[in-house]
A and B are shown apart, each in its own frame.
Chain A
């Protein structure tokens, strides 16, 4: 456990000194800031626009961080052979995989916290949101964090066996498809053809269902009277359990691949 934590800490330290990270965060904050301007154009539901754009920005930039920094790091570790010196230490291969993953989550968590603080500031600037909205930002961003943790596990799995460009592409592709795969299943069911239906169902189970995490949007955070979208705590818990199971499965696969690999 100590070794996993040491590797996680080292990974975090390495990533927070990378300039890409600051560029991405800066971009996200600029996006959130500009949602203020956009919000003013929409009469009445200014806060909703700020929140929807802000949460969207956090989600997308979080994904970019997961993909660029996560994949880049693992690639560097393998390609530049840092891994040689590391694996000659009393480090088991699964410890390396888990340590890297935890370190990336750590980086991701800190970044989401910074971006969330930016969003809360934007919300405070208009000053109309109810006090509870600030609290409800937490589960909203928590769900985004879970979906990004899942995307990171996916990126990690791909980067154990493919090039970084392909790994990034696969991850991004699955992230996009994963937002619609419930629709894929429905489409399969409606098609009337058993083959298409089976395919739709198979894809539904194999591709991580990122749509699962879209449970709290701007209206869910605001809960303004007449305008509210209720938050279903069971759905949130379900999404959490789903993410944990899927992540465990992806990490197990990564460990198996990584453990058998020759480091040439």
Chain B
């Protein structure tokens, strides 16, 4: 079942002081997120990720297209009882403490009394702020505010959580904790929609991803599938080779490197690979391994940004 349905969503911003001209931040995005998955929304800076999330939260109204969450239109306030949202670079009131802020946010959901106090205590612990639960936020580092932002997104035990760059501002340990929290949410059946430009984090936890660039959807699916489609050749490793081997196979390889006993080769297409493997078997060399060469997500991003 689709929990988030985005259809042809488009947003233009008017920029310029005198002569306003529209700039398209999001261009005809269509997307579906299924119940219970961690969905990664990827793209370089300025791709339109935050704009999409704000449209989903109804902070912006779309130029055209529509978005539905849990079967209700994005502007449906009652539906907001069942979702959570972490804005990009969140900021909260300077003079409140985490406990006060979370209590306030809980009240907006009609919570109160001992159950709310318990929930606040639990969340503060879960995001690692227990020691500073009663300090005013103006003394907080960016990372601490980010953690509090995650906590406030979870106060109502939402069914769907939207996180805009949840790992930004956190050190490696903090990022790991966020990963743990997010996978913990999945175990409880919560759907997570998270945007990021920090790829390894996403690679580690997301079930499916969508890749956005300049407001357009480039690709959606499992990372595995997206990257498999871009196999750019194979790496073959041999041992038991001689100088003669080198001479013979060089024409089929785009790269040849000797590393001690072993020879690392790169064959760019299928014919070359077959020729190399044929030679290996015909001359009784020892085949150590054959691996497809997939680009890392970083490399893939790079090709996107540079332009195809």
Listed in ascending order, the chain A residues whose CB lies under 8 Å from chain B are: 2-3, 6-7, 9-10, 13-14, 17-18, 80-82, 84-92, 262-264
Q: Which residue of B lies closest to A18 (CB)?
A: B95
Given contacts A6-B107, A92-B77, A264-B60, 20 further A-B contacts (CB under 8 A): A2-B110, A10-B93, A10-B96, A14-B93, A14-B95, A14-B96, A17-B95, A81-B87, A82-B92, A84-B54, A84-B59, A84-B87, A84-B90, A85-B87, A85-B90, A88-B85, A90-B78, A90-B80, A90-B81, A264-B13
What is the distance, in angstroms, from A78's C-beta to the closest C-beta of chain B?
11
Q: What chain A residues lie within 8 Å of B85 (beta carbons)?
A: 84-85, 88
Assess the B92–A89 pair: CB atoms within 8 A. Answer: no
Assess the B149–A89 pair: CB atoms within 8 A. Answer: no
Q: What chain B residues lie within 8 Å of A87 (beta carbons)?
A: 57-59
Complex: A83 Cα to B211 Cα, angstroms: 28
* 17 pairs, A vs B, C-beta closer than 8 Å: A2-B107, A3-B108, A14-B95, A17-B136, A82-B93, A84-B85, A84-B87, A85-B90, A85-B92, A85-B153, A86-B108, A87-B57, A88-B80, A88-B83, A89-B80, A90-B80, A264-B13
Q: What chain B residues lie within 8 Å of A10 (beta carbons)?
A: 93, 96, 100, 104
Of the candidates B54, B100, B107, B162, which one forms a contact with A3 in the assembled complex, judged by CB atoms under 8 Å apart?
A: B107
Chain B interface, >50% SS class:
loop
Complex: A87 Cα to B59 Cα, angstroms: 7
Q: What chain B residues lie within 8 Å of A89 (beta carbons)?
A: 80, 105, 108-109, 156
What is the distance, in angstroms, from B162's C-beta to the closest C-beta of chain A?
8
Q: Which residue of A lies closest to B100 (CB)?
A: A13
The 8 A CB mask of B128-148 against A (1 = contact, 0 = none) is 000000001000000000000
What is the distance, in angstroms, from B166's C-beta to the closest C-beta of chain A?
13
Given A2-B110, A18-B95, A82-B92 in contact, is the A88-B105 Cβ separation under 8 Å?
A: no
Complex: A90 Cα to B104 Cα, angstroms: 13
The answer, yes or no, to whether B91 is at the interface (CB within 8 Å) is yes
The answer, yes or no, to whether B239 is at the interface (CB within 8 Å) is no
Assess the B91–A82 pair: CB atoms within 8 A. Answer: yes
Of the candidates A3, A13, A84, which one forms a contact with B95 in the assembled complex, judged by CB atoms under 8 Å apart?
A: A13
Q: What chain A residues lie within 8 Å of B89 (beta carbons)?
A: 81
Q: Which residue of B lies closest to A2 (CB)?
A: B110
What is the distance, in angstroms, from A206's C-beta to the closest C-beta of chain B?
28
The answer, yes or no, to whether B232 is at the interface (CB within 8 Å) is no
Complex: A10 Cα to B149 Cα, angstroms: 17
Q: What chain A residues lie within 8 Å of B54 (beta carbons)?
A: 84, 263-264
The answer, yes or no, to whether B213 is at the interface (CB within 8 Å) is no
Q: What chain A residues lie within 8 Å of B80 (beta carbons)?
A: 88-91
Q: What chain B residues lie within 8 Å of A14 (beta carbons)?
A: 93-96
Please report which residues of chain B, range 77-130, place their CB below 8 angstroms from some CB of chain A when the two chains form the complex.
Answer: 77-78, 80-81, 83-87, 89-96, 100, 104-105, 107-110
Q: What chain A residues lie within 8 Å of B152 (beta carbons)?
A: 85
Closest 10 CB pairs of A and B: A17-B95, A88-B85, A84-B87, A6-B107, A263-B59, A90-B80, A80-B91, A89-B108, A88-B57, A10-B104
What is the distance, in angstroms, from A152's C-beta to the closest C-beta of chain B?
19
Q: What chain A residues lie within 8 Å of B91 (beta carbons)?
A: 80-82
Complex: A91 Cα to B109 Cα, angstroms: 9
What is the distance, in angstroms, from A88's C-beta to the closest C-beta of chain B?
4
The answer, yes or no, to whether B61 is at the interface (CB within 8 Å) is yes
Q: What chain B residues lie within 8 Å of A263 (beta carbons)?
A: 54, 59-60
Complex: A130 Cα to B107 Cα, angstroms: 47
Q: What chain B residues lie within 8 Å of A81 (beta carbons)?
A: 87, 89-91
Q: What chain B residues lie within 8 Å of A262 (beta carbons)?
A: 59-61
Given A89-B109, A91-B77, A91-B108 in contact, is the A84-B57 Cβ separation under 8 Å?
A: yes
What is the distance, in angstroms, from B152's C-beta to the closest C-beta of chain A?
6
What is the distance, in angstroms, from B41's C-beta to the closest C-beta of chain A?
16
Q: Which residue of A lies closest to B108 (CB)?
A: A89
What is the distance, in angstroms, from A257's C-beta to the closest C-beta of chain B?
14
Q: What chain A residues lie within 8 Å of B90 (beta carbons)?
A: 81, 84-85
What is the distance, in angstroms, from A20's C-beta to the closest C-beta of chain B?
11
Complex: A13 Cα to B105 Cα, angstroms: 14
Q: What chain B residues lie within 8 Å of A88 (beta carbons)?
A: 57, 59, 80, 83-85, 87, 162
Assess the A6–B77 pair: CB atoms within 8 A. Answer: no
Of the candidates B87, B96, B108, B110, which one forms a contact with A13 in the assembled complex, judged by CB atoms under 8 Å apart?
A: B96
Complex: A18 Cα to B136 Cα, angstroms: 12
Give the one of A13, A90, A91, A262 with max B CB within 10 A. A90
Q: What chain A residues lie within 8 Å of B84 (beta carbons)?
A: 88
Q: What chain A residues lie within 8 Å of B94 (beta carbons)?
A: 14
Q: Which residue of A lies closest to B87 (CB)?
A: A84
What is the distance, in angstroms, from A74's C-beta to the closest C-beta of chain B?
13
Q: What chain B residues lie within 8 Å of A264 (beta carbons)?
A: 13, 54, 60
Q: What chain A residues lie within 8 Å of B107 (beta carbons)?
A: 2-3, 6
Assess the A6–B104 pair: CB atoms within 8 A. Answer: yes
Complex: A82 Cα to B109 Cα, angstroms: 17
